[in-house]
Amino acid sequence: MNKLIKAITGGSAIVPIVAIILGLLVGAIIMLIGGYDPILAYRSLINKVFGNPYDFGETLTAITPLIFTGLSVAFAFRTGLFNIGAEGQYIMGMTGATIIGVSVHLPWYIHAPLAVIVGALFGGFWGMIAGYLKAARGVNEVITTIMLNWIALHLANYIVNDYLLEPGKGRSYMIDESASVTIGWLSRLLEDARMHWGMLIALLAVVFFYVFLWRTKQGYELRVVGHNPDAAKYAGINVNRGVVKAMFISGVLAGLAGVFQVLGVFLNQAVSASHTGHGFDGIAVALLGGNNPVGVLLGAILFGSLSYGAAGMSFGADVPPEIIRIVIGTVIFFVAAPGIIRWIIKRRLPGKKSKGEVI
Amino acid sequence: MDKARTVVEMRNITKRFPGIVANDSVNFKLSQGEIHALLGENGAGKSTLMNILFGLYQPEEGEIFVNEQEVVIDGPNKAIKLGIGMVHQHFKLVHPFTVTENIILGSEPKLGFAVNYKQAHKEVERLSKQYGLNVDPYAKIDEISVGMQQRVEILKTLYRGADILIFDEPTAVLTPQEISELLEIMRNLVSQGKSIVLITHKLKEIMAIADTVTIVRRGKVIDSLPVAGTNPNQLAEKMVGREVSLKLDKKNAVLGEPALEVDRLVVKGRQGLNALNETSFVLKRGEILGIAGVEGNGQSELIEALTGLRPVSSGSIKISNMEIAGATPRTISEAGISLIPEDRHKHGLVLDFPVRENMVLETYYTPQFNKRGFMDFDAIDKHAERLVKEFDVRTPSIMTEARALSGGNQQKAIIAREVDKNPDVLIAAQPTRGLDVGAIEFIHKRLVEQRNMGKAVLLISYELEEILQLSDRIAVIYEGRIVGEVNPAETNDQELGLMMTNYKQSQGGPSSEQTD
Amino acid sequence: MKKSAKIFTGIMLLASLTLTACGAKNNNTGGASPSESASGDTSGKDFKFAMVTDVGGVNDKSFNQSAWEGLQHLEKDTGTKVKYLESKEATNYLTNINQFVRDKYNLTWGIGFLMGDAVKEAAAKNPDAKLAIIDNVVEAPNVASITFAENEGSYLVGVVAGLTTKTNKIGFVGGIDIPVIKRFELGFVAGVKAVNPDAKVIINYTGAFDKADLGKAAAASIYNDGADIIFHAAGGTGNGVFNEAKERLKAGKKVWVIGVDKDQSLEFGDEVTLTSMLKRVDEAVYRVSKEMIDGKFPAGVITTLGLKENAVGLPETSTKNVSKEILDKVEEYKAKIISGEIKVPTAQ
């Protein structure tokens, strides 16, 4: 029994892989119905992602924020919280980084780290609000984080509009060179793709996620809180403090996504009409990755590659970007509905044996 | 039994679940008019077999005959059509509905498009009278006791014309009085021609009522024999597969200093009412104090107050002369109270964690397991390995998730952890709930061992037998008060049962049993 | 096992069949551009033109769509190759432009104000590439910047609104508060005041170009304040303004909307569309691209297209809802603006 169960649930790789294949297959069928050439489309997609150094670099740029927001959602989830607010925390992270990047002038070795830290704290603080409301007032974090997303969007727009706006540009002033975290030599190597240190930090965040949750005392406490708050209370763990702490860390992770978009990619913050979607994509990435740090990394790579490669499909095979959203959506659907996948696997594995059951 | 007609015969039934064979060529025969006990440990396969008979599972191999006709039971509806009814352990009742509405649910008598309640009430009343069930058809489920609710379940099967009734662990939730009434009802049923299968692991009930007993162990039928020619020890041995001692060898208690003093403790319950009303008792070193009572009379609140999980309104709790009322769970734990919680899944374990992490649930922060904020997994592993060995926790490894362990081994793991904390006071709440004879024996031995070592043990249990067997002293709790204290050697089920219901005949009992 | 294998082969078979089918189809449509070119002019067949939309997407019923229509028109007339990429989010602006630049497109358009930084960046990194931008100014030797004198056209619809209003209250719904939209607002208000100094203009910026719900809410509050005409310069957000007007019309209250960019009476019906402030993005895209084919690409030049160039103004369908007298007045003001007699205020 164990072996089979491991194969299906424990060895969590099979389900996502089958889900991805099914997603691509469904996408192909939809493309066929729409009169597009799926093979050409997928070839264009791969070409777009790996075809040349520039696009490869830009794919990494697209993946980076998803690693952070995916880790953010997964971290909260591991501690029993559903953080829908990675989007808002992301925006606050951007705002914090922009404020420091634009309005403070310091030598680079202070400026950039300060901008990163302040942005991360902004995101963490934003997550903490929801954590506090849950701990102190019992307000469901799903509701508060959704609302905080909108508050963050408009607060950020207000801050940029009224204090940081470069006239006539619809965005903030550019951040100081000293605050930027771009990697010039790597960009030059990759034909001017926008490379930045955030990518490395994202990998470190994956390691941090693992070490913190599974190796430290605090991580242990948060996991107990997440898996069984009743047992946590009995074990003398302060559940409420755990909730606030978990949301803070989750917010920091999401905030870092925004920080590096500002300091490494845009170098400014635009007045934004709507959410970027990076935070929401983080939910999907966390789901794809089974809330597991390495899984999130792989999920972000998949998600980011598909998103970035969408333009390639559009360019090479004239497939509208909506189709690739369908493919991504289908993959998530199949991951989220492991029952379907398991049913399919089961049909294929025990094969003949199940026949006796019919009688 | 030979002269009676066979109403159900199951031949060579085999049912596999991934990795295990739940039933391995099981043969089972039920004669008309008998009470046939199906005895076995948890996971032995007795429930699986009956679920097959009731159409909830399909067997891979084997045949089923009902009234000497081969049948395929592909669902509960088919089973009901064949006259088979099942009284589940967890009742399936709609609480805001009346008794009658629950009974007719799904097969309502119709008057045009409307439900013919008049006829329904009449029919329910008739059945209730015929089998001596004494159920008020107009009462709402919310308003009646657990025992009554069970009778509604029985009526449900009778209303659908069942001749073969399956009772799944029916006494687990009942008071002693309710149990004896249920046994009476079962006798009544068979005397009127019904046949009964009784799934249980309680030897006492089998001896009291069953005609035949079939013992199942690890998916196989070990034996099937008339109850008249057997005894509890023999049955227990067949069930567990080795010799077990049902009687505990208990030396006389050597009483020491008071370890836990509870004085006029008042605690509010979930609804904001006082769940504990000036409860007072003293627990000494070297004794086991049993708290007897019907579920929902303040036991849970008492445990929570003692462990710091529930605020104390007034009164005092002293452990070795140190006041701990209102202290945090951690302070209390460090002061020397250990708890084997009532609900091991809810409070005792983090099911998704491996065994090793569960073993340090309350001590993970101590320097022994924690170095500068990092978990010292070498020490934790060593600790877990030792406990697993000492307490015979059967797990593939200390990395196995607690969820994958059997109930008995989960409980052993908790006991290992709690006892290893070397507490002054060990609170054992329902320590053997849902466990089989083998595990019960082990746990009881450990509790007595702790007491012999001079620890104070507070045993809170809804199983009178357990209380009677283990306790050196019994305090009866009723509506948040200790209403009496008795010496286990000088009392019996009946007396205790009456005290537990405050000298009232159990026509009501507390109707608000907590759902978990 | 066998069954699913069969299904799989089935799918693959189906896939390959359909593939061949659509391969054939692709040949038809793909080759359509040159063969269908109406005029038989194939001067552009060696040229590749592309545009990158902002987050509004190519079907925004506004400037992105208009720009794409301009390119499609060019394809038809000259047999050139055209293509677009939609930007899902701001990070894609630069990468999408670079996709075309790297693929050696002759000219890549960035459509909309928001593309400014990306066009600038791409132009600086690829001095050999040619780029053009609508609604923003990028000062680079290889970029053509096209802006419109929206204030002039808005002035004229302001005249229409000022003379048509019965309640003396008029609304303006803007997208994001950026210079382009500010030009709409300032021109419009000036036009209203010129003919109806007592009229009050209620101004509301929704902060978005792609949020119809925000547009609807803004319109509702303005109409509730007593306005009977709303001029919107808010892209997709403006669709909500039309929807609100239609609902009020159904409820028996006569209100008007003045559309923007395209003749929106064609889209939303002339029972609510008083007129529209045309902004011929399609014309601009067509013209500048054509100049590229003709070897006269205005690299490094900032072109402002206004009334004189017929790049802004009222559509012909205006006669339906706007009286002759008012249209005459409009012509009068138009002449004065072109002659320079009236200076329409503009955003700096």
- pTM (2 d.p.): 0.78
Residues lower than pLDDT 50 in chain B:
1-2, 504-516
Q: What's the CATH architecture for B256-336+424-508?
A: 3-Layer(aba) Sandwich (3.40)
> Which site among B375, B400, B405 would you substitute to test the A interface, given the most A Cβ atoms closer than 10 Å to its Cβ?
B375
Q: How many contacts (CB atoms, under 8 Å) link A and B?
A: 75
The arrangement of strands across the sheet holding B456-461 comes to B337-340, B425-429, B456-461, B288-292, B473-478, B481-486
SS3 content of chain B, % helix, strand, coil (to 5): 35, 25, 40
Please give the pLDDT value at position C21.
Answer: 40
Q: Do C118 and C262 fall within a single domain?
A: no
Q: Do C195 and C131 fall within a single domain?
A: no
> Which site among B340, B364, B376, B403 would you substitute to test the A interface, given the most A Cβ atoms closer than 10 Å to its Cβ?
B364
Nearest-Cα residue of chain A relative to residue B359: A235
Please give the pLDDT value at position C57.
Answer: 84
φ/ψ of residue C123, rounded to 5: -65, -40
CB contact under 8 A, A227 and B353: yes
> What pLDDT digit, counting tens, does each position of C243-253 carry?
999 999 999 89
Q: What's the CATH architecture for B6-240?
A: 3-Layer(aba) Sandwich (3.40)
Q: Do C203 and C325 fall within a single domain?
A: yes
Of A220, A236, A357, the CB nearest to B375: A220
3-state secondary structure of B457: strand
**HSE-up of B280 (CA within 13 Å, CB side)?**
5
Q: How far is B375 from A220, CA to CA, in rounded Å?
A: 8
B490: how many CB neighbours lie within 10 A of its CB? 8
Torsion of Cα atoms, C55 then C58 then C62 then C66, to 10°: 140
CB contact under 8 A, A228 and B349: yes
CATH at C267: 3.40.50.2300
Q: Is the pLDDT of residue C267 over 90?
A: no
Of residues B378 and A290, which shows the higher confidence score? B378
Q: Do C328 and C193 fall within a single domain?
A: yes
Shortest Cα–Cα distance, C325 to chain A (Å): 38
C315 Cβ neighbours under 8 A, 6+ residues apart? C263, C265, C275, C276, C278
The arrangement of strands across the sheet holding B322-323 comes to B274-284, B258-268, B314-319, B322-323
> What pLDDT digit, counting tens, does each position of B130-155 carry?
888 888 889 888 888 888 899 999 99
Number of continuous H segments (helices) and E segments (strands) in chain A:
16, 2
CB contact under 8 A, A228 and B351: yes
Which sequence spans correspond to the domains of chain B? Answer: 6-240, 256-336+424-508, 346-422
8 Å CB contact between B446 and B430? no
Name residue C174's beta-bridge partners. C205, C233
Nearest to A267 by CA among A162, A179, A199, A191: A179
8 Å CB contact between C78 and C43? yes
Q: Do C242 and C101 fall within a single domain?
A: no
> What pLDDT digit, counting tens, does each position of C140-192 carry?
999 999 999 999 999 999 999 999 999 999 999 998 888 889 999 999 999 99
> Which site among C28, C58, C99, C139 would you substitute to test the A interface, given the most A Cβ atoms closer than 10 Å to its Cβ?
C99
> What pLDDT digit, counting tens, does each position of C29-77 carry?
333 333 344 455 777 788 999 999 988 888 877 789 999 999 999 999 9
Of B60, B61, B328, the CB nearest to A236: B328
Please give the pLDDT value at position C50.
Answer: 95
Q: Do C120 and C260 fall within a single domain?
A: no
Amino acid, res. B394:
R
Q: Is the pLDDT of residue A357 over 60?
A: no
Q: How far is C54 from C180, CA to CA, in rounded Å?
A: 15
Please give the pLDDT value at position A5.
Answer: 38
CB contact under 8 A, C95 and A321: no
What ipTM was predicted for this assembly? 0.82
Q: Do C84 and C159 fall within a single domain?
A: no
CB contact under 8 A, B370 and A217: yes
Torsion of Cα atoms, B407 then B410 then B411 then B412, to 10°: 120
CB contact under 8 A, B347 and A231: yes
φ/ψ of residue B196, rounded to 5: -130, 135
Please give the pLDDT value at position C10.
Answer: 47
Of A216, A217, A224, the CB nearest to B350: A224
Of C86, C211, C348, the CB nearest to A273: C211
Q: For chain A, give the mean pLDDT.
A: 87
Nearest-Cα residue of chain C relative to residue A58: C95
Q: Is the pLDDT of residue A2 over 80?
A: no
- Residue B352: its chain A contacts at CB < 8 A? 227
**Interface residue ranges in chain C relative to chain A, Cβ cutoff 8 Å:** 1, 3-4, 11, 14-15, 18-19, 22-23, 25-26, 55, 83, 85-86, 88-92, 94-96, 98-99, 102-103, 113-114, 116-117, 125, 175-179, 207-211, 347-348
> Which site among A78, A208, A218, A220 would you substitute to test the B interface, given the most B Cβ atoms closer than 10 Å to its Cβ?
A220
CATH 1.10.3470 segments of chain A? 52-317
DSSP one-letter code for B265: E
Which tokens in the block code for residue B359?
């073993």
8 Å CB contact between A226 and A243? no
Of residues C290 and A170, which shows the higher confidence score? C290
- Residue A10: its chain B contacts at CB < 8 A? none
Element (H, E) at B117: helix B117-130
Q: Do C211 and C258 fall within a single domain?
A: yes
- Residue A36: its chain C contacts at CB < 8 A? 22
Number of compact structural domains in chain C: 2
Q: Do C255 and C139 fall within a single domain?
A: no
Which residue range(s) make up the domain with C210? 150-279+315-339
Q: Do C334 and C235 fall within a single domain?
A: yes
Q: How far is C126 from A339, CA to CA, in rounded Å?
A: 51
- Residue A29: its chain C contacts at CB < 8 A? 11, 15
C12: how many CB neighbours lie within 10 A of its CB? 10
In CATH, what class is A52-317? mainly alpha
8 Å CB contact between C83 and A312? no
Query: Measured between alpha carbons, how far is residue C346 from residues C17, C138, C153, C177 in Å?
Result: 59, 19, 12, 14
∠ CA C226-C228-C233, nearest 5°, is 110
Q: How many contacts (CB atoms, under 8 Å) link A and C?
A: 99
3-state secondary structure of C276: strand
Q: For chain C, give the mean pLDDT.
A: 86
